[in-house]
Amino acid sequence: MSERGLSAPRRRRGRPRGGATDARERILDAAVAEFEAQGYDAATIRSIAARADVDAALVHHYFGSKADLFTAVIDAPMQPARILPELLDGDLDTAGERLARFLVDLWEQPDFRRRGIAVMRAMMGSKRTAGILVGFVSREILRRITTRLGGGDEARRRAGLVASQIVGLIVTRYVLELPPIAEATPDEVVAAVGPTLQRYLTGELTG
């Protein structure tokens, strides 16, 4: 049964709330919560709609399929990556520290962190969603760094190494909350990880 294309979706219960923007945000929040709690495969449009207190038809109306909705959920944490070219502009010899500072500042924000963790959890738990995330990271992060480094195989490899440390920092500090790295101050993390990113961007890599 297709529930798409209904022109006047009704909320199933609850008092009337704000307009379309409000409902859209509530659906996104509910999707984050469901993907995090159930994982991608077990979460359904229906369970997300129930959590958001809207009709399933409204979810389809705004976001299309479950995969489309997941893409929208990923999109918010990836938005900041769009400013990467700006961040990498200027002196390349200090870009490692700027990048580390930017990442830590971003992930220290509770709202960002909550959605980012849900995305990381959901995408790691399933091959399908891992593919969606790899596409995003390749497009939004790797390609921008590769371009800034002038393109080519070595630049690509450097971007991949940068990603390995960034992803590792996010997973251990924010997703797993592994004590010694989760307990470090933002300044300590930037001081420790910045030079690693810098070496991957511009340093000697062949040992």
Q: Which of 20, 67, 83, 178 binds a copy of itself (CB under 8 A)?
A: 178
Q: How many CB atoms lie within 10 A of CB 174?
A: 20
Check: CB of residue 141 under 8 Å from CB of residue 84.
yes
Q: Is 176 near a copy of itself (CB under 8 A)?
A: yes
- Cα dist from 111 to 76, 77, 86, 91, whole Å: 11, 10, 23, 31
> Residue 193 burial by CB count (10 A; 0-12/13-18/19+): exposed, middle or buried?
buried
Site stretch for a copy of itself (CB under 8 A), options 3-11, 50-58, 105-113, 194-202: 194-202
Q: Give least dist CB 207 to a copy of itself, A.
A: 4
147 is a site residue for a copy of itself (CB under 8 A) = no
- Identity at 145, one-letter amino acid code: I
C-alpha closest to that of 74 among 133, 19, 121, 151: 133
Is residue 193 near a copy of itself by the rule CB under 8 A?
yes
Contact flag: residue 46 with a copy of itself (CB under 8 A): no
Q: Where on the chain is the footprint of a copy of itself (CB under 8 A)?
A: 38-39, 41-42, 97, 120-122, 124-126, 130, 133-134, 137-138, 142, 156-157, 159-161, 163-169, 171-173, 175-182, 184, 188, 190-196, 199-200, 205-207
